[in-house]
Structure formats: structure tokens, C-alpha cells
Structure 1
Amino acid sequence: MGEGKQGVIVMDMRNMTAKGLVGRGGGGGNPIAELQAKFKELENGFKGWLAKQSLPIEASVVTATAAFQGAAIGALMGTFTNDISSSIPTPPPGANNLNPEAMASFKQAQAFSGGPLIQARNFAVMTGVNAGISCVMKRLRGKEDVESSMVAAFGSGAMFSLVSGMGGPNQAASAITSGVFFALVQGGIFKLGQKFSAPPAGDVYYVRTRSMLSNLGLQKYEKNFRRGLLTDSTLPLLTDSALRDVSIPPGPRLLILDHIQRDTELREKQGSRK
């Protein structure tokens, strides 16, 4: 009898231990994957909220977010270039009147090898202006192409030149030159990216659709569009019932229809079909 009771007690303890481990481990879930999924959910929610805002609010938020990220990157780079900056000689007082070309060289060296605060300022301006102009161009033109990318790069290059002071005595000419250089580089990168990321032949009918869903944080519903054969050409014709037929929930349906109404080109196509 004693041995039987001990066996029952041992079995009960094992069951309690197993239940406790399962409860604490959440069924063996991966905490990193759960954290990534939660972050992605927050990111998609933020993008969805941002897409419903007016142009000034969206541009301001995008500019501030990009400027903060650029400042963090610049400060990190500045910590690595701080030793280089300290080795650059400081120009003597009155050197502005003696040799403008030499002063311009000093300014350029300081702009690219300054400490954390200088680099944080320069990168914040450069990335913030680029993102803000890109946001405005994309909202006004309804698409993201090489022209919009080059305009944004020109603005960021010009502002970088003015803020960093690398232009020397002729700030306006230097700003234009830097803007053109940034625009050409950005245009080349954009074209290369398009060339190497060209979609397969079967995806050419979903380029606009994929871009729209990506901007709204609704990429997972691309398969629903494909299942219902809702291609780029059907975007101006989309209705709530059509989206419901391909099993897209109410919230995403509202975001998609609102995006179409905000898109100038799609709205014009809707009007021409009526």
C-alpha cells in the first residue's frame, strides 16, 4: 500500500511539473518570432493610420521619423570619425578673407569627418528632407518613380550643402551642384534597383496592386487579389463587395478603398468610366 501511494504521488508531481512547464513556455512558442510579429503588427497599424492622414500631417511625421533615424546613424558614424576630425587643423581667425578655396576645403573636410553632433545634424537634415519630399511627391503624383526620387535627392543634397557649410563663400552654387550630384546618384541607384528587381512575367499585372498593399501594410492580402484575379487594371473598379468576395476583412477594405479615392490617377479613371 505504501509503495502504491508513493507511485501515485510521483505521477501527480510529474503531471504538475509538465503542466507548469507547458504553461510557462506557452506551448513552445518562439519569443523572438512573437516579438517580430508584434512589431510588424504595430508597423502595419502605424502605416494604416498614416495613410489616412492629410498631406501636411503625413509629410511632417515621415520627415520627423526619417530625421530621427538619420540623426542616430550620423551620431554612430561620428563616433568613428571623431579621431579624423580632431586631426584636421583649425583655420586661423580671418582666414575667410585670405583664401576662399582653402576655407571651402576645410569646410568639406569638417562636413564629412565631424564629430557625433555634426554628423547627426547633417544626416538628420539629409534623410529628413529626402523622405519628406518623397512623401509629398508620392501623394501628389500617386506613384513613386525615378523623377520623384531624383527631386527628393536634389532637395536633400542642396540642404546638406547649406547646413554643413561645405560650399564655401558661394553657398547657392554649391547647393545646386550638390543637389544635382545627389539627384544623379539617386536616379542611377533607382534605375539599377528597378533592373535587378524586375518582377517575373506573371507579376506584371500586380505591380500597382503590390505597391498599394505595401504602402498600407496589407501585403498579406496580395494572394486574395490574385485569387480573385483583381489585377492593376481592376483597381479603379474595386468596390466593397468585390473585396468582400475575395475574403478581405472590413478594416483593410476601408483602407484600400480610401487609398483609391486619394489616388488622383485612379480617381480620374473611375470618373471616366461612369
Structure 2
Amino acid sequence: MGGGGGEGKQGVVVMEWPNMAKGLILGDGGNPIAQIQAKYKELEDGFKGWLAKQSLPVEAAVVTLTSATQGAAIGALMGTFTNDFASSMPTPPPGSPNFNPEAMASLKQAQALSGGPFVQARNFAVMTGVNAGISCVMKRVRGKEDVQSSMVAAFGSGAIFSLVSGMGGPNPASNAITSGVLFALFQGGLFQLGQKFSTPPAEDVYYVKTRSMLSNLGLQNYEKNFKKGLLTDNTLPLLTDSALRDVKIPPGPRLLILDHIQSDPEFKEKKGSRK
């Protein structure tokens, strides 16, 4: 009997362990990754809400510090990969016959960009911190975030990065301005490119209801047919079988579209008001 009881207990443990493991892995609320993401989003929104209520100096200081910390982490990581390259670069003494001041300046600039973890952490902390701080001030002062604000922030970060990293060479002031201009042009181009891809085409505003209708019917592939025939949202109550046939929509999808329009109260009302 004792052996049977032991086997029974062992069986209970075996049966209960998967449920325990499942509870530890998934938690009470389901997917733990989704829970962590939701918690992080909640904390992030709370931090942004608190930051928006602060004065401009406090907000700029906090944004600069947090961005500089992130930049330092990225720079330190990059520095671990470029450290070997920097140590392998020879540095000729000033008195050697092969010494060239211009080549030496270029060598120092290359070494500045390929320094160790601490050097790159400093460089990236300054660059990202200054950029974020200026962007924060510009956004608060101008009330918007546009390409001009982005370029001003990039100019400031590029100039400071040039001075701190040692890329200035024999003319640090002029090189700082040059670096700032290059940073500004580069970031301005990226900003405009991002705006171009994030903004939908202007014509799409005339096909909002059309897109929604086709998506609900599972016929989103025929949106291009509507655009090719200029069948905008305003023409939906007027659609006929021949009009859909003219834009090369097959019979089956035509029937579904016409049935949807005839049964939709909004389209019925518009069609009735036109009569």
C-alpha cells in the first residue's frame, strides 16, 4: 500500500508540473512579453507626461542626459569593435623624415573616430545629448518639429562632436563649422526622406471609404482599378455594373461591391438625395 501511495503522489507531481511550468512561463495574464511591453509603454507614457509639465530648462536637461546616456552605451559598444583598428595604426614621430603635418592631422582624425570604448562613449554621448537637447528647446520654442529644427540640432551636435572627438585638426573652429554643416545637411535629407515615406499620397484622401469598403469585402486588390477609373468616394453611391466593368473588375467582385453599396444606409441616403 505504501508503494502504491508513493506512486500516486509521484503521479500527481508529474501531472501538476506542466501546469506549474506553464504558469511560471506565461503568468496569470497570458503572454509575458506582451505584459512587459505594456508595462514599459505605460512607464514611457507616464514619463513623457511628467516631462511635458516641466519647465524648459528641466525638460532640456533631462532629455539631454537620457539621450547622452543612450549614446554613451552605443559608443562604448562600437568602441569595442574599433579599438583594435586604432591600436594598429602607426603614429610616426614628428622628427621622422616621413612626417607630414596634413597626413598627421588626418591620422589623428581617423584615430578619433576609431578610439576605444571610453573615447567613443564620450563622443557619442556628446553628439546624441547635444542633438536631443537642442531639438527639445527648438520644439518647445517653435511649437513644432520640422526640418529646420532638425538641421539646427544636427549642426550643433556635429560642431560639438568635431571639437570633442579631436577631428578639428589644426583649424578646430573652421572644421567644427564644416562638420556642423555636413551633419545638418545629412539629417535634413533624412528628415525629408522620412516625411516623404510617412506621408500618404494626396490622392489617397479621396479613396478612404473606397479602401475601407474593399478591405471589408476582401477585395483590396481592386483599389488600383478604382483609382485608374477615378472612382472616388463621391462616386460610390452612383456605381453601376457597367462602370465597374469599365475598370476591369470581374463579375464576382462587381456583385459583392454593388450589393454592399445597395445595403449600406449611408450610400442609400446619398443616392436618394440625388434623385
Relative to the length of structure 2, the TM-score reads 0.63
CA 1:28/1:125 → structure 2, altered by over 3 Å: closer, same or farther? Answer: closer
Q: Which has the higher contact order (CA 8 A, sep 6+)?
A: 1
Q: Deviations over 1:80-111 (max 9, x none)?
A: 1111011112342579xx74312321221112
Structure 2 residue aligned with 1:157: 158
Cα displacement (A) at 1:113: 0.8
CA contact 1:70–1:124 (8 Å) conserved in 2: yes
Cα displacement (A) at 1:199: 3.7
Structure 1 residue aligned with 2:139: 138
Q: Deviations over 1:176-235 (max 9, x none)?
A: 00000000000000000000110465998xxxxxxxxxxxxxxxxxxxxxxxxxxxxxxx
Please give the secondary structure, in 2, of the residue aligned with 1:119: helix
**What amino acid does structure 2 have at the position aligned with 1:130?**
N
Structure 2 residue aligned with 1:43: 44
Cα displacement (A) at 1:26: 4.3
CA contact 1:149–1:190 (8 Å) conserved in 2: yes
CA 1:109/1:189 → structure 2, altered by over 3 Å: closer, same or farther? Answer: same
Q: Which runs of 5+ in 1 are unaligned?
A: 1-5, 205-274
Please give the secondary structure, in 1, of the residue aligned with 2:199: coil
CA 1:94/1:36 → structure 2, altered by over 3 Å: closer, same or farther? Answer: farther
CA contact 1:100–1:168 (8 Å) conserved in 2: no
Runs of 4 or more above 2 Å deviation? 20-28, 90-95, 199-204
Looking at structure 2, the residues matched to 78 and 31 of structure 1 have their Cα atoms a distance apart, in angstroms, of 34
Q: Deviations over 1:25-70 (max 9, x none)?
A: 6446111111111111111100000000000000000000000000
Structure 2 residue aligned with 1:170: 171
CA 1:35/1:103 → structure 2, altered by over 3 Å: closer, same or farther? Answer: same
Looking at structure 1, the residues matched to 149 and 137 of structure 2 have their Cα atoms a distance apart, in angstroms, of 9
Structure 2 residue aligned with 1:59: 60
1:181 pairs with 2:182: yes
CA 1:202/1:45 → structure 2, altered by over 3 Å: closer, same or farther? Answer: farther
Looking at structure 2, the residues matched to 138 and 202 of structure 1 have their Cα atoms a distance apart, in angstroms, of 30
Structure 1 residue aligned with 2:259: none
**What amino acid does structure 2 have at the position aligned with 1:141?**
R
Looking at structure 2, the residues matched to 151 and 140 of structure 1 have their Cα atoms a distance apart, in angstroms, of 13
Structure with greater Cα Rg:
2
CA 1:203/1:124 → structure 2, altered by over 3 Å: closer, same or farther? Answer: farther
Q: Which runs of 5+ in 2 are unaligned?
A: 206-275
**What amino acid does structure 1 have at the position aligned with 2:165?**
S
Looking at structure 1, the residues matched to 92 and 157 of structure 2 have their Cα atoms a distance apart, in angstroms, of 28
Structure 1 residue aligned with 2:112: 111
Looking at structure 2, the residues matched to 167 and 185 of structure 1 have their Cα atoms a distance apart, in angstroms, of 19
- Cα-Cα RMSD: 2.9
Percent identity, aligned pairs only, is: 77
**What amino acid does structure 1 have at the position aligned with 2:169?**
G
